[in-house]
Amino acid sequence: MERLFTKLCMLIVVALALQMHGNKGCLEKERIALLAIKPFIINATFYYDERNYTVESWVDDGVSDCCDWYRVECSTTTGRVMNLSLSSLLYGSTTILNFSLFQPLEQLQILDLSYNSFEGWVDSRGLANLRNLEFLDLSSNMISGSLQQANLRNLKSLDLSYNKISGSLQHANLRNLEFLDLHDNGMIGSLQELGICNFKNLIELDLSENNFEGHLPPCVNNLTILRALDLSSNQLIGNIPSINLMQSLEYLSLQDNNFEGMFSFSSLVNLSKLEIFELSTKNSTLQVLETENFLLPPNQLKFLYLSKCNLHGIPSFLMYQHSLEFIDLSHNKLVGMVPTWLLQNNTRLQGMYLMNNSLAGTLQLPNSTHDLLELKISNNNLNGQLPMNIAVILLRLVTLDLSKNSFEGYIPSSMGEMKSLNKLDLSSNNFSGELPKAFVSGCSSLELLKLSNNKFHGEIFPHFMNMTQLTWLNLDNNQFSGKIQDGLWKAKLLYVLDLSSNSFSGQIPDWIGNFSFLSYIVLSNNLLEGGVPVQLSNLRDLWILDISENRLSGSMSSSFNLSSSVEKLCMQKNALNGSIPNAFLRTTDLLILDLSDNEFSGSIPIQIGKAPNLGFLLLGGNHLKGNIPHELCQFKYLSILDLSRNRLNGTIPSCFTNILTWVEQSNATDRIRPGLGWSIPDNGYSVASNNYTTLAFKQVDSFLRPTEETEIGFVSKNRYESYKGRILGYMLGIDLSSNELTGDIPIDIGNLQKIIAMNLSRNFLSGSIPESFSNLSNIESLDLSHNKLSGRIPPQLTQLSTLSTFNVSINNLSGLVPDKGQFGTFVESSYGGNPGLCGPQIKRSCGSSEPTTPPATPSGAGEEEQEDESAIDMVSFYWSLFASYVTTIMGFVLILWLNSYWRKQWFCFIDACIISSYCWILRNVFNRYDDL
């Protein structure tokens, strides 16, 4: 009977469910509501999912259960929609969010609309009717406007980070909010005006990375149940007020603001639950008290960030901390020894950052083993050798950064026992010796090995090398030698390889093209020889290839190809020959192409216009011939063009005015990244909320920036300069010198207003100097020497206030030399070889009237007749003098050979001269020595 009653109840429940849901798992009106949302995302795909899931499962077939639809979760008991995730479905297409679409979903508790492209919302009343909605995520959209009229009274958690929200919260209906995230919205104004002190139910508040100004209002003490407060990366000023009333606070971040005055840790004395504290300043006016007597708080900090706080010593209260898990005292003014006692007192310490201080002495370690994972003491004044027992004491180290110090000696062999070591940076020290066998064979977990700028020597990459996880390898600026051995081939995951400025010899190994992930290759300034292996064509993700300043030779194979992802290609200062491969010019991302000082021949390929993003083209010092192709004018963003020291002929293209950077966009070179290096992910500590309830540590990606910067060599102001960093971003120049160019200088060249350096010297250019050159408002160096230019120097050029180097020597110019402005500073050599010029600068009087321009050479006259007469006379004089000497000597020898009497008299004369010289030496030298 009881069993029958149970079955009957089950049948009744099923009947009621069927009647309620119409033979479906979810409510009919909720299914219709979801179908009404579908048109907004019907063509969108899930941004992060490689399987490209879509909402095509949302079908109106009268059969499917909407609770089974993709991204929809229903209650297992009521069948009502509880969780709706539409994250990333509208990425890339802007739209307005209409909250009324969600109104039928009355039991909805979680709504995730993050990572879309919403620009704003309408009808927030629909959101207010969702009385069960507790979690709303609108982060990473483009929502702008104010929250003044937002009616979100039932919400507990609101995430609006990474948007463009502005205005105040004074009148927003957010009274039940417990968690509010407005991170990175660009909000301005004061915290007082924002109205945060009215939300007394807040548990977590994130206002970081905005532009809030003014003081930290004392009313924050009213948020008595607040557990997490993040005000980092704003513009807050003034003294930090006491926040002793916020006794529930566990996490407080005030870093990266403009606080000033004195800060005392006694202001935190009542925060007994505080575990995480972050403080730093932008303007270096905040002073943290290092030694003070106060009643210590009962809590034990876990995370302490005191970077950029003007600390000269370790705060004394840290002597009583024993639960620290992470401490960052970087970018201060700490002196003395490394505070090893922090490790001894805090056995759970996992990370200690002391970068950029003034710590000195040797590196002292604790007396017993420690489980420290990260130790960073770069950019200090530490010296001496590494402790031999470092692998015993710090066996579990994952990251060790001792770069930019003065350490010396060898790498201890014991470091081969550090099986967990993942990142090792010993760059910019005075280490020497060979790498120990135990080290290269034992550190099998190393991903980053940076030994740059030391004095290591010996051969590298032996067959027993066992660094199979290597991803970043930097051995540049050392004294390594020998061949690149195949032990490196075991590092299948290699991404960055920098062996520059060593003494590596032999050929570039063919197997270097078999790395699947290799993107950065720098082998410059070595002794490598042979050809460029065609196997480099296999590197599909190659980004930077620099094999300059070696002894490479031979022509490039016609089968040589390059990945379209290559941005920087440098092969200068080798002996490569043949024609320039077309493969170099098919890389659409190419920014830098430097093939200068080789033996390339043939013409400049017209395919060069297929690299539209090219910013630096250097082909100087080769054997190129033919015309300058007009396809060069397709480079809208070209910064430096060097075609000097070739055999190019024809005229200068007038279409250079199509290159925007030379005409109007002085800052267009900002698109060329000065560092063109790499970023090294580095697991650093950060603090974040976990499920809005528990504060916890998590590791996030930070970046070690490369020290190597893109460097471009270019002749300016009569000297070879290397430009890099920010200076490279401002350098705009043309060098067409030492070619066989003819014809007039195009008038349009004068419209290149942003050019800084222009060199057209040592060609056969004729005609006059264009008056339009007065428009070169940024020009600093202008060289037109060793040409056939005629006419006068345009007086309009005196308007060029930035011109510091000017050379028009060895031409056929005439008339008065300008002497106003910058032209009053140029020396006589700037005008030499122009007999028609006159003026005080060249100490040649112009007489009563200004000399006129010499008559034009009659049509048909030979090219020799147009040469400067003074130059022709000098050549004739040198040849005549040489002929005279040769004739005289040969005649004298012939006379002596034919007449024996004269020959005998000549030899007697020579003997007499020798004896006379010998007697003079005895009389005037040795006699004086005897007198002494």
Q: Are residues 769 and 654 in the same domain?
A: yes
Q: Minimum mean pLDDT among 192-196, 674-678, 753-757, 902-906: which range?
A: 674-678
| C-alpha separations of 95 from 41, 120, 907 in Å | 11, 8, 108
Q: Domain range for residue 729?
A: 553-672+708-842
- 638: DSSP letter: -
Q: What is the pLDDT of residue 103?
A: 86
Instruction: Give the domain-ending residue among 803, 827, 842.
Output: 842
Per-residue pLDDT tens digits for 27-86: 888 888 888 888 776 554 444 443 345 567 788 877 778 888 888 999 888 889 999 988
CA 239 to CA 556: how far, in whole Å?
A: 66
Rg (CA), the chain: 39
Q: Are strands 719-724 and 711-716 parallel, antiparallel or unpaired?
A: antiparallel
Q: What is the pLDDT of residue 257?
A: 93
CA 309 to CA 301: how far, in whole Å?
A: 18
Nearest to 731 by CA among 801, 640, 656: 640
How many domains would you assign to the chain? 2
Q: What is the pLDDT of residue 674?
A: 37
pLDDT at 184 over 50: yes
pLDDT at 345 over 50: yes
Q: Are residues 743 and 598 in the same domain?
A: yes
Q: Are residues 575 and 656 in the same domain?
A: yes
Q: Are residues 799 and 662 in the same domain?
A: yes
Alpha helices in 331-371 (DSSP H): 341-345
Beta strand spans in 105-226 (E): 110-112, 118-122, 135-137, 144-146, 157-159, 164-166, 179-181, 188-190, 204-206, 211-214
Structure tokens at 13: 């429940």
Mean pLDDT across the chain, nearest whole number? 82
Nearest to 220 by CA among 246, 238, 201, 239: 246
Neighbours of 858 (CB within 10 A): 7
**Looking at the domain assignment, is residue 512 inside a domain?**
no
**Looking at the domain assignment, is residue 819 inside a domain?**
yes
Q: Are residues 807 and 909 in the same domain?
A: no
Q: What is the pLDDT of residue 600?
A: 94
What are residue 628's phi and psi, to 5 degrees? -75, 115
Task: Say if CB 664 and CB 642 are below 8 A apart.
Answer: no
Q: Which CATH number do you get for residue 620?
A: 3.80.10.10
Its pTM stands at 0.79
271 DSSP β-pair partners = none
Task: Say if CB 71 and CB 95 are below 8 A apart.
Answer: no
Per-residue pLDDT tens digits for 191-250: 888 888 888 889 999 999 999 999 988 888 888 899 999 999 999 998 888 887 788 899
Instruction: Give the domain-ending residue among 821, 842, 863.
Output: 842
126 confidence band (pLDDT: 50, 70, 90): low
Instruction: Give the domain-ending residue among 842, 875, 906.
Output: 842
360 confidence band (pLDDT: 50, 70, 90): very high
**Looking at the domain assignment, is residue 327 inside a domain?**
no
Nearest to 642 by CA among 712, 727, 568, 726: 712
**Looking at the domain assignment, is residue 101 inside a domain?**
no
pLDDT at 138 over 80: yes
State mean pLDDT over 355-380: 95
**Looking at the domain assignment, is residue 582 inside a domain?**
yes
Q: What is the pLDDT of residue 319?
A: 87
Q: Are residues 609 and 737 in the same domain?
A: yes
Q: What is the pLDDT of residue 53?
A: 52
Per-residue pLDDT tens digits for 430-474: 999 999 999 999 999 999 999 999 999 999 999 889 999 999 999
pLDDT at 899 over 90: no
Instruction: Kindly give the interhelix angle for 869-898 and 900-921, rounded to the nearest 10 degrees.
Output: 100
**Looking at the domain assignment, is residue 10 inside a domain?**
no
pLDDT at 706 over 60: no
Q: Are residues 593 and 717 in the same domain?
A: yes
Structure tokens at 654: 């007038």
pLDDT at 695 over 90: no
**Looking at the domain assignment, is residue 459 inside a domain?**
no
pLDDT at 771 over 50: yes
Task: Say if CB 799 and CB 775 are below 8 A apart.
Answer: no
Q: Are residues 568 and 664 in the same domain?
A: yes
Per-residue pLDDT tens digits for 296-323: 555 789 999 999 999 999 988 888 889 9
Q: Are residues 827 and 906 in the same domain?
A: no
Q: Which phi-psi region, left, alpha or beta, contains residue 238 (left: φ > 0; alpha: ψ -120 to 50)?
A: left
Q: Minimum mean pLDDT among 94-103, 521-530, 617-626: which range?
A: 94-103
CA 845 to CA 400: how far, in whole Å?
A: 73
State mean pLDDT over 558-578: 87
Q: What is the pLDDT of residue 415?
A: 93
Q: Are residues 779 and 899 in the same domain?
A: no
Q: Are residues 626 and 734 in the same domain?
A: yes
Q: What is the pLDDT of residue 713?
A: 63
Distance between alpha carbon 911 and the CA centroid of its chain, in Å? 77
State mean pLDDT over 892-903: 72
Q: Are residues 804 and 910 in the same domain?
A: no
| C-alpha separations of 368 from 128, 339, 345, 371, 393 in Å | 60, 15, 12, 10, 6
Task: Say if CB 311 and CB 289 are below 8 A apart.
Answer: no
What are residue 218's phi and psi, to 5 degrees? -60, -20
Q: Minimum mean pLDDT among 243-247, 341-345, 795-799, 852-856: which range?
A: 852-856
pLDDT at 667 over 90: no
Q: What is the pLDDT of residue 41?
A: 67
**For a pLDDT cut of 90, what percent of the chain falls above it?**
43
pLDDT at 258 over 50: yes
Q: What is the pLDDT of residue 861?
A: 39
Q: What is the pLDDT of residue 244?
A: 78
**Looking at the domain assignment, is residue 7 inside a domain?**
no
pLDDT at 642 over 90: yes
Q: What is the pLDDT of residue 92?
A: 57
pLDDT at 541 over 80: yes
State mean pLDDT over 133-151: 83
Q: What is the pLDDT of residue 332?
A: 93
